[in-house]
Amino acid sequence: MKPIVLALALAFAAPIMAEEISYPDLPPPAQAEAAISRSITVLTAESGIKFEQSNRRRWSSGNYEFNVRAGSAQRRIASTGQALKEWDVAIERPVRLPNKMLIDQEIGAEGVQRAEFTLGDARHEAGRLLLRLWFTWQREQAQVAQWQQQELTLQRLAAMTEKRVKAGDAPKMEHNQALAAAAQAGVSRRQALMRAQLAANEIVRQFPGLELPENVPRSTPQAIQNDFTYWKDQVFQHNHELGMVRSDRHLQQLLAQRSRADRIPDPTVGMRYSSEMAGNEKVTGVYVSVPLSFGLRSAQAEGMQHQAEIATNREAFVQRRLEGDVYATHTQAVSSFTTWQQAADAGNSIRQNAELVARAYALGESSLSDTLTARRIALESTLAEATAQLDANEARYRLLLDAHQLWPLDSDEDVTHDHY
């Protein structure tokens, strides 16, 4: 029974485990999402949504308020010289026309929609920053590991050379050369360690609370599946920046429509009560006032229409730029995988050659200079391979991130921009 129970438990846990180990060389999804959510730009964008929600209520209620007027006067009758006190009071309020009220409600809702796209874009940019800083740190960590291995190898070579010097098989100069090479490797290791510490500090500074593991497993790069058209569709379907400019274009069109509607002024309706002739006459009435415009409202409507045209051109510009960005990201991901394959093949051959040269030196069939040169070339190829491997993984993750297939970047992954 125990094997069956264990199999069932693993089967139910498989989706959760797959989510956790899908990208072992990246921060766990929960930590990445928490770090992105605590980013300053994301918190600012969240405040922007709250501001636009308040702004939506303002657009719905309108800018008009009740206005109370009161005044007093004294009437003097010339024939009798009698002075009569009079006073009046009125309450009035401009009335927003129904078509303007509907447009204002759309403007408020569109402002919230644009703010939501801004939040999504902020989360996306924070994810890009996290990915870039993470792999910068990983490159420095790879440098530390390789220089540490090089230092140990050269120290063993120096110990071997010392034995040969004592045995009279090698001059003292070779021992000094081996010690100098090991010391130089130690200097490079410490420099790489300093850069790794700075890179780690930058991640923690930008994303407080993100835990950095001591060792990050290396993932074998994977080839990019599907063609450019697929990735372009995926990126455009979820791109928040494109949603922002489309929402802004729609908002500017609504503002232009609102400005055209303002060519017909809103009337002001009021009620008035007055006491005249020392209270002998009581007057109650209503009144309507309408402002008369001589070109101002038309000029404003024309200006807002130009603003809408500018927003339309900005949308076209962003769309073209995004097409170029997606093409560059996809091309880089495909090319980086091929580069890593070539670097891995070259690194294996060069390291095998370095081992053969080292054995030849141990047998007295090769010089120390050739051995040190072979070790240096092997180190350079190993570093190039490690860098190519990290570059390939980062480029692939960047493509997945832009297509919303890496980390959760918003609460609704099915958001599209078709309604624009």
How confident is the model over 279-309, as pLDDT tens digits?
778 889 998 999 887 788 888 888 999 999 9
Q: Residues with Cβ < 8 Å from 99, sequence gap 6 or more? A: 261
pLDDT band for 15, please (50, 70, 90 cuts): very low
Q: Is the model's pLDDT at 7 over the cut of 70?
A: no
Q: Is the model's pLDDT at 414 over the cut of 80?
A: no
Question: Other CB atoms closer than 10 Å to residue 215's CB: what's the count?
Answer: 7
Backbone angles phi and psi of 410, in degrees to 5: -155, 170
Mean predicted confidence (pLDDT) in 121-147: 93
Q: What is the mean pLDDT of the chain?
A: 85
pLDDT of residue 297: 86
How far does Cα 321 stand from its chain's mean position? 16
What are the pLDDT digits (tens) for 211-242?
Answer: 898 888 888 999 999 999 999 999 998 899 99
pLDDT band for 413, please (50, 70, 90 cuts): very low
Q: Is the model's pLDDT at 411 over the cut of 60?
A: no
Lowest-confidence pick of 115-129, 214-228, 399-413: 399-413
Q: Is the model's pLDDT at 101 over the cut of 60?
A: yes
Q: Is the model's pLDDT at 9 over the cut of 60?
A: no
pTM of the model: 0.81
pLDDT of residue 246: 94
pLDDT of residue 164: 72
Q: Which CATH number fits domain 23-402: 1.20.1600.10, 1.10.357.10, 3.40.50.620, 3.40.50.300?
A: 1.20.1600.10
Contact 70, 88 (CB under 8 A): yes
Lowest-confidence pick of 51-55, 72-76, 359-363: 359-363
Report CA torsion sign: 330, 334, 340, 343: negative
Residue 84: name the closest of 285, 275, 283, 273 by CA.
275
pLDDT of residue 1: 37
CA atoms within 13 A on the CB side of 322: 23
What are the pLDDT digits (tens) for 234-249?
Answer: 999 889 999 999 999 9
pLDDT of residue 420: 55
Q: Residues with Cβ < 8 Å from 400, sequence gap 6 or more? A: 406
pLDDT band for 209, please (50, 70, 90 cuts): confident
- Rounded distance between C-alpha atoms, residue 14 and residue 6, angstroms: 12
Query: Does residue 336 or residue 276 have the better pLDDT?
Result: 336
Q: What is the residue extent of each domain of the chain?
A: 23-402
How far does Cα 213 stand from its chain's mean position? 24
pLDDT of residue 13: 40
Q: Is the model's pLDDT at 3 over the cut of 60?
A: no
Q: Is the model's pLDDT at 156 over the cut of 60?
A: yes
pLDDT of residue 81: 75
With H, G, I as helix, E, B as strand and everything else as coil, classify residue 263: coil
- Rounded distance between C-alpha atoms, residue 341 and residue 208, angstroms: 36
Q: Is the model's pLDDT at 190 over the cut of 90?
A: yes
Q: Is the model's pLDDT at 93 over the cut of 70?
A: yes
Which residues on adjacent β-strands are paired with residue 276?
281
pLDDT of residue 155: 87
Q: Residues with Cβ < 8 Å from 273, sequence gap 6 or more? A: 88, 89, 90, 282, 283, 284
Q: Is the model's pLDDT at 75 over the cut of 90?
A: no
Q: What is the DSSP letter of 84?
A: E
